[in-house]
Amino acid sequence: GEMAPLTAAAAYERELKHFFSTLPDNLPRFDLVLLGLGEDGHTASLFPGSSALHENERLVAPTYVEKLDAHRLTLTLPLINRAAQVSFLVTGQSKAAALREVLHNENSNLPAAKIRPVDGRLSWLVTEDAVSPSTP
């Protein structure tokens, strides 16, 4: 919180590139990315309507979340989708509608639906109440 969001995102990206010792044109590859699912279908800090959803050049993007009145940093879709394993942990009945949308609508525009590892695996760890057929 001490740096401006764009400056912080750039610093975090430099740190990732240094840690992974990547060449300028290569993306780092995480072994595992563990994500949650919000009631609105957000994941990481990729919220519906966020410009960060369209970021294809940066590894880390700043985003402002109006409903939280907060600036956040998020890993971008290209970086997340490069991971060897991406796992979602979804708990609670309040997530059921978003979960159904993401899993059953191949044309979904929800941010979590955009998580599609390019050369990796995707798994879902879901509590029973999050898939309850009685959920509206």
Q: Which tens digit of pLDDT belongs to each residue from 49-87?
A: 999 999 999 999 999 988 889 899 999 999 999 999 999
More confident residue, 102 or 24: 102
Instruction: Examine the pLDDT at 136 and tell me if it is beyond 80.
Output: no
Q: What is the pLDDT of residue 128?
A: 94
Round to the nearest angstrom and report the end-to-end CA distance of the chain: 38
Q: What is the pLDDT of residue 133?
A: 67
Q: What is the pLDDT of residue 29?
A: 93
Q: What is the mean pLDDT of the chain?
A: 92
Using left for φ > 0, alpha for ψ between -120 and 50, and beta otherwise, residue 44 falls in: left
Q: How many CA atoms lie within 13 A of 12 on its CB side?
A: 19
Q: Which tens digit of pLDDT belongs to each residue from 3-27?
A: 999 999 999 999 999 999 876 667 8
Q: What is the pLDDT of residue 135?
A: 44
- What is d(CA 24, CA 126) in angstroms, rounded to the nearest whole number? 37
H/E/C letters for each residue in 92-127?
CHHHHHHHHHHHHCCCCCCHHHHCCCCCCEEEEEEC
Whether the model clears a pTM of 0.85, i.e. scores above it, the answer is: yes
- What is d(CA 97, CA 101) in angstroms, rounded to the nearest whole number? 6
